[in-house]
Structure 1
Amino acid sequence: MNIMDNTPQTYATPPLQQKKTAQSNHDPFVIPASLQQYADEPLYILIALWCRQQNDWVSRMAISEAFGITDRRASFQMSYISRHKKRVDCEIRVIRTDNSQRFYHEIRVTGVVLSGDTVRAVPSQPKKGPLKRSRVGNATPELRNMLHSLMGSRRVCED
């Protein structure tokens, strides 16, 4: 190929798409080719989907490499994913390096709920509303009648 040739190149695989975030203090990231159809999802969902595709334990270094983000940002995303139980079902494990007191976390994602889906990744317990009472107090009708009859028969103390 001639260096001065301006003809467009054809790629065997589509080029990776970079996504710019809405927040100005966040750097853009790379969307892996296997996740292009989910480009409108937030970064943590894209990472969760990618981790699920790996079908294994994934470290922050692997996430950092796959998405072109810093290790620190990848670590934050792992933490965010692990706390976002409404949309991501995952496990976290701690790995200690050999002959060292250092450790790192790995994540395994087993389920992801996309924004269009209505089912939760981890079903939550139904919330119980406040108890509804028709009357003040908690006496049964029989006990209430007995108390009324006793109070009615009370003698007034005179000084």
Structure 2
Amino acid sequence: MTGRENRRGRSRCREPQQSNHDVCVVPEEVSAHEGKPLYVLVALWCLKRGGWVNRGQIADAFGISERSATFQLTYLSRKKEQICCELRKVKRAGVPVESYEVRVTEVSPEAGVRKVSEKQREAVKTIQRGRVGNADGDVRELTRNIWNSLQRGRKA
């Protein structure tokens, strides 16, 4: 994350942690939670707004595309154990397609924190390096010899 200010001076640009994500803007209202994932920031921002929010408002506030804002709405509605929200369909006059709006009523303090079990931690510690597959020593040696003879034949 960088501390670059945007042109309005009220929000900060946030560099993504993954290469397939875009840069977004963190609104001043949620800048205290800047280290959290984007969907948590969006949920906190919606909570502070207190009403129904659509994808256009999220896109404007966070400087992301409306498509990305739609993904954030989906995230909010699916993270039920972390974010308590209501989702509704809205039909706009003159537009044939319905759109969704969300109203966030509660955000868990643990939202965005990944819980890693002890079993997963132990699995990371005991990773074997260098050997691939489940063949026994004799089969590995035979395979190695065949490979080496093929390599020697190719060099000739």
Q: Paired residue for 1:45?
A: 40
Overall identity of the aligned pairs, in % = 37
Cα distance, 1:15 vs structure 2: 3.8
TM-score by length of 1: 0.62
Q: Does 1:113 align with 2:115?
A: no
Contact 2:91/2:97 (CA < 8 Å) preserved in 1? yes
Find the partner of 2:25 among 15, 30, 43: 30
Find the partner of 2:65 among 58, 66, 70: 70
Contact 2:40/2:111 (CA < 8 Å) preserved in 1? no
Which of the pair is proportionally richer in helix?
2
Contact 1:16/1:32 (CA < 8 Å) preserved in 2? yes
Contact 1:89/1:111 (CA < 8 Å) preserved in 2? yes
| Structure 2 gaps, min length 5 | 1-7, 114-156
* Amino acid in the other structure paired with 1:91: E
Q: Which has the larger radius of gyration?
A: 1
1:1-159 correspondence to structure 2 within 5 Å? 15-115=10-110
Listed one character per residue, the Cα deviations across residues 72-91 of structure 1 (whole Å, up to 9, x for unaligned) are 00001001110001110000
- Paired with 1:31 and 1:99, the residues of 2 have a C-alpha distance of 33
The CA RMSD measured in Å over matched residues stands at: 2.1
- Paired with 1:100 and 1:18, the residues of 2 have a C-alpha distance of 33
Cα distance, 1:30 vs structure 2: 0.4
Structure 1 segments of 4+ aligned residues over 4 angstroms from their partners = none
Contact 1:41/1:115 (CA < 8 Å) preserved in 2? no
| Structure 1 gaps, min length 5 | 1-12, 119-159
- Paired with 2:22 and 2:46, the residues of 1 have a C-alpha distance of 21
